[in-house]
Amino acid sequence: MVGSVGAELEVSPSIVEMNGKVETNGKVEPLPEEIVPVIPIVLAENGANEDQKVIREIVLGRNVHTMSHAVTEPEADDEITGEREAWMASVLAKYRRSLIERTKNHLGYPYNLDFDYGALAQLQHFSINNLGDPFIESNYGVHSRQFEVGVLDWFARLWEIENHEYWGYITNCGTEGNLHGILVGREVFPDGVLYASRDSHYSVFKAARMYRMDCEKVSTLISGEIDCADFKAKLLRNKDKPAIINVNIGTTVKGAVDDLDLVIETLKGAGFSEDRFYIHCDGALFGLMMPFVKRAPKVSFKKPIGSVSVSGHKFIGCPMPCGVQITRLEHINALSRNVEYLASRDATIMGSRNGHAPIFLWYTLNRKGYRGFQKEVQKCLRNAHYLKDRLRAEGIGAMLNELSSTVVFERPQDEEFIRQWQLACQGSIAHVVVMPSVSVEKLDDFLNDLIEKRKTWFQVGKVQPSCIAVDIGNENCACPQHK
C-alpha cells in the first residue's frame, strides 16, 4: 500500500502529543471532554448593556484531525512504480473538486471568489519575497518591489496623498494593516488611549492587548456606526492623554461605515487639536468600495488621518490573503530600524513578505481600473438590495446599511444550513456579504433553500420569526410584535 507509516518508524512522544491525539495499537483515543467542540461561553458583546450577559453556545467547526490527509513516508520502490505520484494526484483532484463545490456555496465572508489569474501561473516557480521595506531594495534579489510600489502608488492616489509623502506596504492581511496602523499611532503617542467602537474587528482589540494599550470601547448605534455622543464622553474622561482612534470603513458584521468627519469634529469639540490625535481607518472590507459609492464619506489624507488599510482578498479578489497599508512617511521614521542583515529598513510587522501578492494585486488593478471597480460596486449594492427586499417579502427580518452590501438577517436555526452556505453569525443574527462573485441566481438558490428549510425549523405553516430588533432596529424586525 502506498503511504503507510512503517511500524519500525520511531515517532517521538512530543510529536504524538502535538497532534493532540494519542495513538495506541492503531486505535485513536477519544478527545478529552474539555475539547469536545461545543462550549457555552458568556458573551457581553452583543447586548448594549454590559450586565445583560447572555449564555450562548459557540459551535466550533468540525474537528479537522478526523478529516486530515496524513503525511506518509515514501516506500523504497515508490519511485519506480509511480504509485505514490498517482495517489497524491488523486488526493489533490478530490480536493480540487471540493474547492469548486465550496466556492459555489459561499455567501457569508466578504471574499470575492471570482477571478482568473491563469496568466500568473508561470510565477509559481519562484520564491518571491519582499522582506524589508518596499522602498529600499534589500540584498535578496528575487522580489517584486517594482509591482508593490506601483500598487501602493495607485492606492495613494485613491486616498489622496502625494507619492513623496506616504509610506506603505503590501501586508499579509487586513489584520496586519490594523496591527501596523495602531502601532504607528502608539509610536506617535506612546501614552495615547485607543478608542474603538464595540463593532470594530477583533484584530483591533487584539492590537490593544498585544501593545498593552489602554482601550476605550465606544458604543455603537443600531446601524453599527460608532456613537459619537459616547465617544465624546469617553474622550472627556481621558482629556489629559492623546487619542488613537480606529475608524471603521465598513464594520465586519453589519457593514456600517463610521462617519469620519463626525469623528474628527467630535475630537475637536472635546478639545483635541490635530497634534493630539491619530486616526487609523480600518477599510479591510469597504476601503476599496467606498470611493465608488455616491454620498459616502470620503477617506482622504487631506483630512487629519494617520493611516488606512484594506484587505486584498476581500473585494479586490486575490487568491491568497493580503492587504494594503498606507501611512504618512513622517510617522514611519519614528518606527523603523535599519537592519544590516537585510541591507534594508525594518518598518513592517512581519519579516518575510509574500512577493506574489503584489503581482496579483497589480494584475487586477490593471485589468479593472477605477471604472471596473465602480461597476462591480454598483452590481454588489444592487444585488444586496435584491436580497434584502426578498427576505423582507418573505417575512424575514433583515437590515442593509445604505452604504453597504452586507445584508444582516435572523440567524438560521440549523448549524448545518449555516455551514452549507458558509454564513457568518454573531448572536441572533447572520449575514451575507454580497461580493462580485455573488450573482442573483446564487441568491435565489440560497433564498429558496432558506424558505424551504425555515418551514421545518418552525412549526409547519406557522412561521414565527424571533425578535432581533435590538440588532437591526424595530423597523427592520419581522417578529410578530414589530412587523
Ligand X SMILES: *Cc1c(COP(=O)(O)O)cnc(C)c1O
Q: Is residue 251 within the footprint of ligand X (CB under 6 A)? A: yes
Number of amino acids touching ligand X (CB under 6 A)? 16
Stretch that binds ligand X, among 26-34, 170-178, 207-215, 327-335 (CB under 6 A): 170-178
Nearest alpha-carbon partner for 423 in 463, 450, 402: 450
Q: Which is nearer to ligand X, 176 or 376 (CB)?
A: 176
Which residue in this structure is represented by grid cell 474537528?
A: 63
Q: Which is nearer to ligand X, 196 or 359 (CB)?
A: 196
What is the CA 42 to chain-centroid distance, rounded?
24
Q: Which is nearer to ligand X, 138 or 404 (CB)?
A: 404
Give alpha helix (H) positions in 394-476: 415-421, 440-457, 469-472
Q: Which residue is nearest to ligand X (CB)?
A: 174
Strand partners, 462: 459
Q: Which is nearer to ligand X, 158 or 270 (CB)?
A: 158
Which one of residues 144, 203, 246, 476 is an interface residue with ligand X (CB under 6 A)? 203
Stretch that binds ligand X, among 29-37, 245-253, 362-370, 392-400 (CB under 6 A): 245-253
User: Minimum distance between the CB of residue 248 and ligand X, rounded to whole angstroms?
Assistant: 6
Q: Which helix (H) or strand (E) segment is 372 a member of? A: helix 357-393
Q: Which is nearer to ligand X, 361 or 396 (CB)?
A: 361
Q: Which is nearer to ligand X, 224 or 465 (CB)?
A: 224
Q: Which is nearer to ligand X, 219 or 474 (CB)?
A: 219
Q: Which of residues 63-122 bind ligand X (CB under 6 A)?
A: none
Residue 108: φ, ψ to 5°: -85, -25
Q: How far is CA 244 from CA 208, 308, 309, 449, in A?
A: 11, 13, 15, 45
Told to judge if 404 belongs to the known catalytic residues of this protein, a careful annotator would answer yes
User: Minimum distance between the CB of residue 315 and ligand X, rounded to whole angstroms?
Assistant: 10
Those residues whose C-beta lies under 8 Å from the C-beta of residue 150, and which sit 6 or more positions away, are 362
- Considering the candidates 197, 404, 405, 437, report the single residue annotated as catalytic: 404
Which one of residues 106, 180, 186, 201 is an interface residue with ligand X (CB under 6 A)? 201
Those residues whose C-beta lies under 8 Å from the C-beta of residue 141, and which sit 6 or more positions away, are none
Q: Is residue 325 within the footprint of ligand X (CB under 6 A)? A: no
Those residues whose C-beta lies under 8 Å from the C-beta of residue 343, and which sit 6 or more positions away, are 138, 139
Q: Is residue 175 within the footprint of ligand X (CB under 6 A)? A: yes
Q: Is residue 282 within the footprint of ligand X (CB under 6 A)? A: yes
Beta strands in 120-184 (DSSP E): 166-171
Stretch that binds ligand X, among 187-195, 279-287, 300-308, 343-351 (CB under 6 A): 279-287
Q: Is 416 left (phi over 0), alpha (psi -120 to 50) or beta?
A: alpha
Give the gyration radius of the chain's Cα atoms: 25
User: Minimum distance between the CB of residue 381 and ligand X, rounded to whole angstroms?
Assistant: 17
Q: How far is CA 96 from CA 83, 91, 102, 123, in A?
A: 20, 9, 10, 20
Q: Which three cell numbers stand for residue 409?
A: 438577517
Q: Is residue 250 within the footprint of ligand X (CB under 6 A)? A: yes
Residue 57: φ, ψ to 5°: -85, 130
Stretch that binds ligand X, among 32-40, 50-58, 244-252, 395-403 (CB under 6 A): 244-252
Stretch that binds ligand X, among 48-56, 247-255, 375-383, 394-402 (CB under 6 A): 247-255
Q: Which three cell numbers stand for residue 413?
A: 436555526
- DSSP conformation letters of 74-117: PPTTHHHH-HHHHHHHHHHHHHHHHHHHHHHT--SS--------
User: Minimum distance between the CB of residue 445 and ligand X, rounded to whole angstroms?
Assistant: 25
Q: Is residue 174 within the footprint of ligand X (CB under 6 A)? A: yes
Q: Which is nearer to ligand X, 254 or 345 (CB)?
A: 254
Stretch that binds ligand X, among 84-92, 171-179, 181-189, 442-450 (CB under 6 A): 171-179
d(CA 160, CA 175): 23
Q: Is residue 311 within the footprint of ligand X (CB under 6 A)? A: yes
Strand partners, 309: 282, 325
Which one of residues 134, 323, 397, 412 is an interface residue with ligand X (CB under 6 A)? 323
What is the CA 300 to chain-centroid distance, rounded?
22
d(CA 260, CA 144): 34
User: Minimum distance between the CB of residue 432 and ligand X, rounded to whole angstroms?
Assistant: 14
User: Minimum distance between the CB of residue 104 and ligand X, rounded to whole angstroms?
Assistant: 22
Count each helix (H run) and each strand (E run) in the chain, helices first: 13, 17
Residues recognised as catalytic: 404
Interacting residues with ligand X (CB under 6 A): 173-175, 178, 201, 203, 248, 250-252, 282, 284-285, 311, 321, 323
